[in-house]
Structure 1
Amino acid sequence: MAESNTCKFHIAMLPWFATGHMTPFLHFSNELAKRGHKITFLLPQKAQQQLQHLNLYPHLINFHILTVPHVDGLPLGTETASEIPISLNYLLAAAMDLTRDQVELALSAAKPDVVLYDNAHWLPEMTRKFGIKSVCYNVVSAACLAIGVVPARLISKDKPITEEELRQPPPGYPSSKVVLRSGHEARTLLFLSAPFGKDIIFYDRITMALRESDVIAIRTCRELEGDFCDYMAEQYKKPVLLSGPVLPEEAKGELEEQWAKWLNGFEPGSVVFCAFGSQLNLEKDQFQEILLGFELTGLPFMVSLKPPIGCASVDEALPEGFEERVKGIGVVCRGWVQQPLILNHPSVGCFVNHCGFGSMWESLMSDTQIVLVPHLGDQILNTRLLVEELKVAVEVQREENGWVSRENLSKAIKAVMDKGSQVGDTLKKNHTKWKEIMSAPGLMNGYIDKFIQSLQEMIK
């Protein structure tokens, strides 16, 4: 814990309007507020409603509401990424950029000492005008940020980068394992040259956000990604601060009665839980194939997925006769579930997830076996980190076109769940080792306190 006489300061937060970004920004805000610092958190109205219960220090963390303007092509009333398919994120980025005047008024009135942001690439220009320090705080892995240091000549609106170019790591990249391999994996990063906002591509937006900041910060720790963090510092010629994973110390609240009762009916470590995040919408045939893969395992399972593309509900997308066949052993959730509390339930023994950075950390800090089905470029690189560098997880093998078959999904799950499995035993042993490292007394608080010390030195 930071010393009580340490100088307190005022921090503004402006994360990308997606749950996977706003939630870790708020977790970090709680850690800062716990140490007495004041936070102004800029976010849309709908996001406030979703996150309010996670604000543990409302007397120090003030939610400042931004009105998200309508942009043609977005459904009316859209404010966050969880409301739309990933294909429309570029329009939400344009809408976020239109809040620039509101952000300027908020910063002018609040007069914070420093602002943390991620993809609002225009923010450093504003903060310089007010004499405020800017920190580009990234809630994706350092490995992912580092692979994004693609030579700028390869990426432009006029000449999209090719799959083969993306499969080549940038010069000096610190790993031969955390890379893109198949054509399908490379295609997941083609969005680098796609629009993300008005008249700007994703690559330019992110690299400008990093380049123009006073300091780069990453939600990670040296124990896992030290080499990648050093690489980023070298590439951008500026300090890289680390906050640690900034996860809540323990899941708050009680699990909903229906799920607690259902999970209580199974032996410890026997249930497979699956979730792919708040934004991913699968194609209907892939959605059904994945469900059939869980059925094929013969293990009890709990699946939380969004309705697939073209379907208004999960119910209309279920395979024919599926619910009748799995009744009593498998369940498909409708709507939001309490993922941290489910992972903490003693009956859950395996977590099948997409390896978004939040789920990656939740996987590492849980006691479950880890099976990964990444879908986007950053998730693939996070998966490489867990599977090949840390050796704590297995990845479901895909076909060259990206298809996940029921057989391969079932095979991966059974490889870690079957009693006496050498693969499962090895992964569990490695997982336990890494969890002990990450849970070492004082480790996470040490990252937060050092981060605060660096901010204090920066704003003197």
Structure 2
Amino acid sequence: MEPKFHAFMFSWFAFGHMIPFLHLANKLAEKGHRVTFLLPKKAHKQLEHLNQFPDNIVFHALTISPVDGLPVGTETASDIPVSLSSSLASAMDWTRDQVEDAVRVAKPDLIFFDFAEWVTEIAKMYGAKSVYFITFSAASASMSMVPGLRPDNLATTPPEYPSSKVLLRGQETNAFSFIFYPFGEGTTLYERIAKGLTNCDVISIRTCLEVEEKFCDFLERQFQRKVLLTGPILPEPDKIIPLEDRWNLWLNRFEPGSVVFCALGSQIILEKHQFQELCVGMELTGLPFLVAVKPPRGSLTVQEGLPEGFEERVKGRGVVWGGWVQQPLILAHPSVGCFVNHCGFGSMWESLLSDCQIVLLPYLPDQILNTRLMTEELEVSVEVEREETGWFSKERLSVAVRSVMDKDSELGNQVRRNHVKWKESLLRHGLMSGYVNKFVEALEKLVQNKNLE
């Protein structure tokens, strides 16, 4: 029997990063290993219910210092617009002394990290192995790390990039240039990722070879580091509390496969006109729908931002909700037949492993590349066409949804067939658990070899 190890986890202060880290922590704890999870105090309550092994996984609170430009009380990315991410990165960097103190006292065997590239220095100092855990797609990581990438050559397809289909187009290259913007004091997101991947002991990615083998191979060659895959590590459905009555009772009113569910993640805050196009686009489908998005910029509630007369027109068949919802359980409800989402990496996996038709509205650059992976490589989804403004119209959203929901649609039937094949392939017995088992075994060997050094 392999000796048990102690791992630290320190992710970027965004729930789209912290939640995958915690899902991975659950897998390690299930095997008997100990995890200390370093995170902001406010995130404790929001993540506590996802800790399936509280005896093995301990939350270690970090105090987040005030930073100029950040609203008072900001601790995670969901507290701020994307434009303030650089200031939050500074706040993360200012926890370095706390992280180092915790490492010095506990002496972990492994430290998992992502955007805090300085973790590799602390790990070396105290004899721990550093593991860069990529929570977004290998396709996005590969695009971010192609040799010679610069803000002025994003429009050119790099010859080293592994795919001719998973690409940025037109104005999307402008959006992707954000990786070269300041991200904390004196550094950029590009530099952080590159330094972290170059200086870590091992790279790990939340993906599988069946979907992203060529991108994983590219990263292994590029950084000369062993790449370990965890699989998508989604929580087991039977370990989640039941769907809230509010949504269960509402969804039960509709025919199987007839409801369109739209969710855009915890970080996206739409402008009011974008929010209204989204709402009216869902209305124009003529189908029952549930939209779960944050209130638009300038509005305290979603109701404030709704188009005039909208609630009366969709009464009984449409709901717009501004709070958190149990996304995996809503997707599993028999009445839900279509999932409109931003194609964040977590939502990408949840949609791929669901029975729903998939319509994609990517917002951030990594989501755009995930969307191309789903739409162009796997051919399991439809992307909503954008206007010249970079956003989409209500008409194009409605057309995209109808194209997959219409039973006579050739496109809808094609993506449904492909989706079924991929889902069956990914859920075949032993595939996901096999990734986790191999991943943990590799970590156990890494720790064992470290102890022999």
Q: Give the TM-score taking structure 2 as reference length.
A: 0.97
Instruction: After TM superposition, give the deviation of residue 173 of structure 1 in Å.
Output: 1.1
Alignment equivalent of 1:408, drawn from 378, 396, 399: 396
Letter in 2 for 1:244: G
**CA–CA distance in 2 between the matches of 1:93 and 1:316?**
32
Among 258, 281, 294, the alignment partner of 1:306 is 294
Deviation at 1:401, TM superposition (A): 2.3
Match of 1:124 among 116, 120, 127: 120
Alignment of 1:338 with 2:316, yes or no, is: no
Query: Are residues 1:260 and 2:248 paired?
Result: yes
* Percent identity of paired positions between Structure 1 and Structure 2: 58
RMSD of equivalent CA atoms: 1.0
1:329 aligns with 317
Contact 1:305/1:333, CA 8 A, preserved across alignment? yes
In the alignment, structure 1 residue 419 sits paired with structure 2 residue 407: yes
Q: Is the 8 A contact 1:188 1:375 kept in 2?
A: no
Contact preservation (8 Å) 1:147, 1:169: no
Please state if 1:95 is matched with 2:91: yes
d(CA) in 1 for partners of 2:179 and 2:50?
A: 32
2:14 aligned to 18, 22, 27, which one? 18
Equivalent residues in 2 for 1:348-427, closer than 5 Å? 348-427=336-415
* 1:299 shift after superposition: 0.4
Partner of 2:235: 248
Deviations 1:263-309 (A, max 9, x none): 00000000000000001011110110111000101000000011111
The answer for the alignment partner of 1:214 in structure 2 is 201
C-alpha contact (below 8 Å) 1:139/1:219 kept by paired residues:
yes
User: Partners in 2 of 1:129 and 1:325 — Cα distance?
Assistant: 63
What CA distance in whole angstroms lies between the structure 2 residues aligned with 1:301 and 1:143?
Answer: 31
Residue in structure 1 matched with residue 139 of structure 2 by the alignment: 143
CA offsets 1:176-214 (integer angstroms, 9 cap, x no match): 00010122x111112111110111111111111111111
- SS of match in other structure, 1:72: coil
Structure 1 moving runs of 4+ over 3 Å: none
Contact 1:149 1:170 in 2 (8 A): no
Q: 1:169: Cα distance to partner? A: 3.0
Instruction: Say yes or no: does 1:63 pair with 2:63.
Output: no
Indicate yes or no: 2:183 matched with 1:196: yes
Moved more, 191-200 or 249-258: 249-258
Deviations, residues 30-60 of structure 1 (Å, cap 9, x unaligned): 0111111110110111111100000000000
Deviation at 1:7, TM superposition (A): 2.2
5+ unaligned residues in a row in structure 2: which ranges? none
How do 1:144-183 and structure 2 match up within 5 A? Answer: 144-152=140-148, 155=150, 161-162=151-152, 165-183=153-171
Q: Aligned to 1:350, what secondary structure does the other structure show?
A: strand
What does 1:265-276 correspond to in 2, within 5 Å? Answer: 265-276=253-264
Partner of 1:7, secondary structure, is: coil
Contact 1:303 1:333 in 2 (8 A): yes
Structure 1 CA distance, aligned partners of 2:191 and 2:58?
31
Query: Alignment partner of 2:12: what SS?
Result: coil
1:51 aligns with 2:47: yes
Distance 1:111 1:344 in 2: 42
Q: Secondary structure at the match of 2:67?
A: coil
**1:191 and 1:230 mapped to 2: Cα distance?**
25
Give the Å deviation of 1:6.
2.6
- The counterpart of 1:287, out of the listed 268, 275, 278, is 275
